[in-house]
Structure 1
């Protein structure tokens, strides 16, 4: 990978976890996870945002090959 592409966590070489602490998850954040999935060949990723009031609303599931 180039220096600019570093996933926060890769679990068992299969799942990417991207951690954020922002008020609102944007399309750019979701696109970042999709890019990591495509580059690594992983099928599943989660965007976890710790910046909201409750964690339940801060979990976004991303699947390789499925764009919004």
Structure 2
């Protein structure tokens, strides 16, 4: 399944698929709050959601990058 860049919002599953990581990894990025994932654009109940442009335009830190200095 390919994520739809024209969708209104992406879920954690969509972000994980787009980045090629597990959903657990995206949840970890979110819980750390160190700039590894942009703040969600909206929540539906307790579920975070992002506009595709937010994720596509996000400059992810590379593997091993220091994210605790921001």
TM-score, normalised by the number of residues in structure 2: 0.28
More helix by share: 2
More strand by share: 1
